[in-house]
Amino acid sequence: MNVPKYADIIEAAERIKRYVKKTPVLTCTTINNMVNAELFFKCENFQKVGAFKFRGATNAVLFLSDKEAARGVATHSSGNHAAALALAARNRGIRAYVVMPENSPWVKKEAVAGYGAEIIYCKPTLEARETTLEKVIEKTGATFIHPYNNFNVIVGQGTAALELLKEIEKLDIILTPVGGGGLLSGTSLTVKGFSPKTKVIGCEPEAADDAYRSLKEGRIVPSINPQTVADGLRTSLSDITFAIISQNVEQIVTVGENKIIEAMRLVWERMKVVIEPSAAVPMAVVLNSKLNIENKRIGIIVSGGNVDLDSLPWLK
Amino acid sequence: MNVPKYADIIEAAERIKRYVKKTPVLTCTTINNMVNAELFFKCENFQKVGAFKFRGATNAVLFLSDKEAARGVATHSSGNHAAALALAARNRGIRAYVVMPENSPWVKKEAVAGYGAEIIYCKPTLEARETTLEKVIEKTGATFIHPYNNFNVIVGQGTAALELLKEIEKLDIILTPVGGGGLLSGTSLTVKGFSPKTKVIGCEPEAADDAYRSLKEGRIVPSINPQTVADGLRTSLSDITFAIISQNVEQIVTVGENKIIEAMRLVWERMKVVIEPSAAVPMAVVLNSKLNIENKRIGIIVSGGNVDLDSLPWLK
């Protein structure tokens, strides 16, 4: 297996810098006082398409040769990766094909179509997704860009932590959410190369705790149809992300659904920042004393801010 | 009348810099493309207490002599100014007395009490507010800090525009909301001193258009009990703010209620930033072609982000 290294992240940062936003790092005195630690929020919810996913997708698209690029890129995802890939492809002037379940929410279709991707609908099963994707690739010759089990995607995701570490010195811990593990993997590679004393910890919903269980058992133990408000974290680790995380990540900490919603609301209320439920998981871990963080300096990668404003979890 | 000058703003910026946040300036490509202009959002919703009001309150509190300060400060307000004054007083280690109508929403009481102010309740009439405040001042010797008809408050509010102009060059226009006129006055003084070619324009709800009418008639024409979702803008100009605005502000533009709510939602959705209805008024002006802004560089002072998350205007 071809596993990325820190040097790949440095190259990716250079490759994508014309396209991605250098997102701000925010702090909040009130929350610091609540948890008795110093928190630094790397706001990837302000990234283009509203999520860190744009980094990985851009890196993967720019890495293609001209010949490959001419045939386009494809993926199956209805989430932030699909929108990110659509915009990354448009920026390079190539086609993006996105396979989506026909019952996807309207807002998600809109987002992907709005960035100029071609949507191919399929039945809402994993099998239908995969066979439809295969057909698309066969027909078009497009390159499949997996949302996280992809060398260049992982490497791209690691550039957020690189910006954070360059801006904020001496972090004791960096927290990220973990779903498929792309962000956590990339972050851990960056930290190992740039700031090896900093600990990297993955934060996961209890209701979708495959990374926690996989690390414990030393093999990939996927979550089967997990139900969590953190819709970006329902996916399970893949072979590349499992390999990286097993080697570089200190620990996975899990937290319950209500705590995630409370943490999300607290960030909106106190920091005036719109974060999606998945992005609130590290904050929920910090607020609920799941870690010894007293007087520590903690970086949090705020993964995204794509939320349906007509349907907020605390109003249900 | 003692009207402030640009030099006073420079002094205030120095005086308050230990206490206020230098808030970030955000941009959004999607919104720029929608309006065909370059917008720069000075995010005072990320300021302490969630609003620019902390600048003016801090400046007014720090300006007091030790003898005055020892007797505390007082105000009648149930909004952002009250919370701002409470925190500014706490930072100096002095007392703050806040006169509030007994029917004020719980969240507002909480905010003010949370910063350690003493709340004195009164009947919900203007007369009761004023007589109660007089009594408090008589009894305690506290200094009254008016939310906007106050030299040092106005000067403090002008420091937000100073930071914006130092960071972003060559702005053609700066927009602020206008309620009592403190922010607009302070901003206009800063612009006159630092960047005299930049136009300053006030943005006001149609339903509370006293500044628009006052400038047109050349005298203060208050709004009587205005009903607008922009709860921070229900107040009317005062003698100091009217004098400054008449002299320095290009124009006042008004916009309707639904447009304000749409603009607020757009900023949440696209920029991932929580702004309060009052802060959305300049954005509503820009979105609805109320100004010729094509290809211009426009600064917007995002005034605040204090919103009841249980009661969002687009969900009513």
What is d(CA B63, CA B148) in angstroms, rounded to the nearest whole number? 15
Yes or no, beta carbons of B309 and A312 under 8 Å apart? yes
Q: Are B144 and B75 in contact (CB under 8 A)?
A: yes
Question: In this structure, are residues A16 and A88 in contact, taking their beta carbons and an 8 Å threshold?
Answer: no
- Predicted pLDDT at B232: 93
Whether residue B10 has pLDDT greater than 90: yes
Calculate the average pLDDT of chain A.
96
pLDDT at B13: 98
Measured in degrees and rounded to the nearest 5, phi and psi for residue B309 equal: -70, -5
Residues of A whose CB is below 8 A from B43: 272
pLDDT at A299 over 90: yes
pLDDT number for residue A109? 87
CB-CB contact of B167 with B92 (8 Å): no
* pLDDT for B105 beyond 90: no
> DSSP letters along A208-265, please?
G-HHHHHHHHTS----SS---S-GGG-S---HHHHHHHHHH--EEEEE-HHHHHHHHH
Q: What percent of chain A has pLDDT over 70?
A: 100
Q: Report how far residue A185's alpha carbon sits from residue B77's, in angstroms, rounded to the nearest whole number.
A: 50
CATH fold match for the domains B6-51+150-315 and B54-144: yes
Least Cα distance to A99 among A62, A67, A73 occurs for: A73
- Residue B116: pLDDT band by 50, 70, 90 thresholds? very high
pLDDT computed for residue A77 by the predictor: 84
Instruction: Please state, for a pLDDT cut of 70, what percent of chain B lies above it.
Output: 100
Average pLDDT over residues A89-107: 92
Taking residues B278-302, what's their average pLDDT?
95
Cβ-nearest to A305 among B43, B50, B272: B272
Q: What pLDDT is attached to residue B108?
A: 82
User: For residue A44, what is the nearest residue in chain B, using CA coordinates?
Assistant: B272
Sorted by where each begins, the domain ranges of chain A are 6-52+151-315, 54-144
Residues B210-254 have pLDDT tens digits of 999 999 999 999 999 999 999 999 999 999 999 999 999 989 999
Over residues A165-179, the pLDDT tens digits come to 999 999 999 999 999
- Sheet of A199-205, strand order: A25-26, A38-43, A297-302, A173-177, A199-205, A251-255
Nearest to A207 by CA among A190, A231, A188, A182: A231
Residue A78 has pLDDT above 80, yes or no: no
Chain A partners within 8 Å of B46 (Cβ): 26, 271-272
Tell me which of A131-140, B11-20, B105-114, B258-267 is least confident: B105-114
Contact state of B273 with A274 under an 8 Å Cβ cutoff:
yes
Domain A6-52+151-315: top CATH class? alpha beta
Q: Does A29 touch chain B (CB under 8 A)?
A: yes
> Does residue A46 belong to the interface with chain B, where contact is any CB pair within 8 Å?
yes
The structural architecture, per CATH, of the domain B54-144 is: 3-Layer(aba) Sandwich (3.40)
**DSSP code string of A5-46:** -HHHHHHHHHHHTTTS----EE--HHHHHHHTSEEEEEEGGG
Q: Which residues from B are below 8 Å from A265, CB to CB?
A: 309
* B6-51+150-315: CATH number: 3.40.50.1100
pLDDT of residue A290: 78
Q: What is the pLDDT of residue A38?
A: 98
How do residues B78-87 score in pLDDT, each as one tens digit?
789 999 999 9
Other beta carbons less than 10 A from residue B217's beta carbon: 9
**Nearest residue on chain B to A308, alpha-carbon basis:** B269
* CB-CB under 8 Å, A29 with B24: no
**Cβ–Cβ gap A48/B29 under 8 Å:** yes
Q: pLDDT tens for residues B16-37?
A: 999 999 999 999 999 999 999 9
Greater pLDDT, A111 or A4: A4
Q: What is the mean pLDDT of residues A286-290?
A: 89
Please determine, for residue A277, whether its predicted confidence score (pLDDT) is greater than 90.
yes
| Residue B104 clears pLDDT 90, i.e. is over it | no
Prediction ipTM score = 0.93
